[in-house]
């Protein structure tokens, strides 16, 4: 049978790329790059950026693609790393409020009377509880929940949430009654610069965005095309963050910043606010700056390409340092 995608040797792959006008000056290095990054990730993953008409832009080298891919994978890795820290904190606060205000038994803190029956046509408490109940079935439960089902007389929320997905945890928060939801929100964002309802809106949209970007990274999807499905409220971020991190003109968030907040820039700022720990914030800004605001000439050139593809502000190297925090900085 003649397959439409047959096996190609490294030499054949390089010849295909040359025919598409990719510049390859060192055969051995070209082969090394294809084996390190993979043909599909390197070429198909970024063809919308570097191949507008099925031909590479003039001056595009295989080394340039490799550095671009490395930058992209580095941003993905940091998104997963710090996104996980926010997930842990979010679940911990949610679990603590449920246990403190309602109880530690799953029948108590998952009782429908503590939740809105319906948030919207796509989200009901019944659907959320059905997802959670899958982890409370001893035949399908995972550890540590399974251990508690077998060895203890209840499953506390801080144990159950170890096995409940972030998406389901966010939906549970959305369904939670106003008083408990407000208490969680005020713990996550302990600031008097926002009203409680503003904090709730920011948390819901930010957590959805973090979840989406983290999933794109974890499943090796097209990260450069990832954007939030919910608008993270720029005005709330503006109130919480140091001056100059977000731009405003004529009393409104700048249009370019609105676009940027739907991309990785908005996710970085959301993580910064929600993680709310000086040590983690400093490490996070340092690591993202090393990638998105590099010093070397070669990386600066690639950074411009990457920033454009991701809708990152072109002056990101000036904005990230403004997030440098001191022990006295308060959200």
Mean pLDDT of the chain: 94
Our CA angle for 281, 323, 270, nearest 5°, is 65
Residue 84: predicted pLDDT: 97
- What is the pLDDT, as a whole number, of residue 295? 73
- Residues found in the chain: 331
Question: Average pLDDT, stretch 1-21?
Answer: 92
Distances (CA, A) of 270 to 81, 202, 204, 213, 295: 14, 8, 11, 12, 25
What pLDDT, in 10s, does the model give residues 38-59?
899 999 899 999 998 899 999 9
The model's pTM is 0.94
For residue 2, the model assigns a pLDDT of: 81
At residue 328, the pLDDT reads 42
**Res. 226: pLDDT tops 90:** yes
Residue 4 and residue 221: Cα distance in Å, rounded? 23
Distance CA 326, CA 318 (A): 18
Q: DSSP alpha helices (H): ranges in the chain?
A: 10-19, 27-37, 39-43, 47-50, 62-101, 106-109, 125-134, 145-151, 157-160, 166-175, 178-188, 196-218, 234-240, 255-261, 264-275, 278-292, 297-310, 316-319
pLDDT score of 326: 45
Distances (CA, A) of 154 to 88, 102, 105, 148, 190: 21, 14, 5, 7, 31
């Amino acid at each position: 049978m003649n397959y439409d995608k047959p096996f190609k040797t490294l030499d054949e792959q390089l010849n295909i790329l040359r025919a598409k006008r990719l510049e390859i000056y060192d055969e051995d290095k070209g082969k090394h790059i294809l084996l390190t990054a993979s043909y599909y990730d390197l070429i198909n993953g970024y063809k919308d950026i570097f191949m507008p008409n099925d031909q590479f832009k003039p001056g595009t080298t295989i080394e340039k693609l490799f550095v671009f891919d490395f930058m992209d994978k580095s941003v993905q890795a940091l998104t997963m790393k710090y996104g996980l820290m926010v997930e842990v904190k979010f679940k911990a606060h949610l679990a603590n409020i449920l246990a403190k205000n309602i109880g530690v038994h799953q029948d108590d803190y998952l009782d429908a009377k503590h939740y809105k029956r319906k948030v919207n046509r796509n989200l009901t408490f019944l659907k959320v509880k059905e997802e959670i109940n899958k982890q409370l079935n001893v035949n399908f439960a995972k550890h540590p929940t399974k251990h508690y089902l077998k060895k203890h007389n209840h499953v506390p929320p801080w144990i159950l949430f170890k096995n409940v997905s972030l998406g389901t945890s966010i939906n549970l928060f959305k369904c939670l009654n106003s008083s408990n939801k407000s208490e969680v929100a005020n713990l996550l964002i302990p600031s008097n610069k926002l009203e409680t309802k503003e904090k709730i809106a920011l948390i819901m949209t930010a957590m959805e965005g973090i979840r989406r970007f983290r999933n794109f990274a974890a499943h090796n999807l097209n990260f450069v095309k990832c954007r939030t499905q919910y608008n993270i409220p720029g005005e709330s971020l503006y109130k919480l963050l140091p001056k100059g991190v977000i731009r405003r003109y004529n009393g409104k968030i700048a249009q370019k910043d609105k676009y940027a907040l739907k991309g990785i820039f908005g996710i970085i700022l959301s993580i910064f606010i929600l993680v709310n720990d000086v040590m983690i914030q400093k490490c996070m800004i340092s690591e993202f700056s090393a990638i998105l605001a590099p010093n070397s000439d070669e990386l600066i050139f690639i950074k411009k390409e990457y920033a454009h593809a991701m809708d990152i502000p072109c002056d990101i190297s000036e904005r990230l340092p403004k997030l440098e925090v001191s022990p006295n900085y308060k959200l």
